[in-house]
Amino acid sequence: MSAASNAPLRQLQKRVGYTFTDQSLLIAALTHRSAGKSNNERLEFLGDSLVNHVVAIDLYQQFPDATEGQLSRLRAKIVRGSHLAEIALRLDLGAALVLGTGERKSGGRNRHSILADALEALAAAILVDAGFEVAREVLAGWFGPSLETLSLTDERDPKTQLQEWLQGNGHPVPVYEVLAVTGEDHAQEFLVSCKVAPFTDVWEGRGGSRRQAEQDAAARVLEHIEHVRK
């Protein structure tokens, strides 16, 4: 099959915003592991870090007053699997996926984890084909609409979010404890711990006030929950 003369792939590349010099990279990015040993898993590894970094640059520029914690939480919204799958659906990646028979029959084309992984692999394939700056520009097209909707003000605070998640899942409220207060008066730093019933780990948080440190700890627990559920 000559990929270059394949009409559906040509149309896909139009939607994606990039036409490959090496069409085999495009095919590799679309090939799920169920289709065999030569698949998109290595590209997905590379693409995951590319997407994380490009979104970090965009957020760094877009929110000059955001703290590190706020930037992390904004990024988590953009790079979470369900959002990547949304973008993959918008680009209609599903139809072009190369799947094993089993995955094909069981609806793999619409599976969110497969779509999200393929989108990351596609990002890496563009990087390998054309370099960082081109990949960054193409990704700006994918993520731009979502980035525009972000705002620092509509972020519910992490302590509230964590408590809602715990109550929604039938767990008791978290227990915060101040471990240390350091620094001069004008730049005091609080270190707190946060224990959360469903987990055996204990999280720590820092901040210029007890409240800020607790918010920081709660944000870390939320990141863990997001990470584990991914």
Task: Give the E-state strand segments of the chain in sequence order.
Answer: 175-182, 189-195, 202-207
Q: Which stretch binds a second copy (CB under 8 A): 12-20, 67-75, 83-91, 148-156?
A: 67-75
Measured from the Cβ of residue 163, the count of other Cβ atoms closer than 10 Å reads 15
49 touches a second copy (CB under 8 A) = yes
- Residue 66: CB partners within 8 Å, gap ≥ 6? 59, 74, 152
Q: Are 120 and 51 in contact (CB under 8 A)?
A: yes
Rounded to a whole number of angstroms, the minimum distance from the CB of residue 131 to a second copy is 8
Least distance CB 33 / a second copy (angstroms): 7
185 binds a second copy per the rule CB under 8 A:
no
Catalytic (active site) residue 214: no
* Min CB(168)–a second copy separation in Å: 17
Q: How far is the CB of 199 from a second copy (least distance, A)?
A: 6
The residue type of 19 is: T
The least CB distance from residue 227 to a second copy, in Å, is: 8
94: helix, coil or strand?
helix
- By beta-carbon proximity to a second copy, the closer residue of 12 and 98 is 98
Would you state the structure tokens that stand for residue 189, as one six-digit string?
């730093």
**Is 120 one of the annotated active-site residues of the chain?**
yes
> Which of 24, 82, 101, 110 contacts a second copy by CB under 8 A?
101
Q: 3-state DSSP: the chain helix, strand, coil percent, rounded to 5?
A: 65, 10, 25
Is 129 one of the binding residues for a second copy (CB under 8 A)? Answer: no
Quick one: DSSP state of residue 109? G
Whole-number Å distance between alpha carbons of 123 and 132: 10
CA distance 101 to 34: 8
Instruction: Please report whether residue 103 would count as binding a second copy according to CB under 8 A.
Output: yes
The residue within the footprint of a second copy, chosen from 62, 72, 193, 212 (CB under 8 A), is: 72
Each residue 137-166 as x (binds a second copy by CB under 8 A) or -, in order, gives ------------------------------
Q: Interface with a second copy includes 81 (CB under 8 A)? A: no
Establish if 219 lies at the interface with a second copy (CB under 8 A). no
Of 8 and 172, CB closest to a second copy: 172
- List alpha helices for the chain, DSSP H: 7-16, 23-30, 41-62, 68-79, 81-90, 101-105, 112-130, 132-149, 158-168, 210-229
Residues annotated catalytic, as ranges: 48, 120
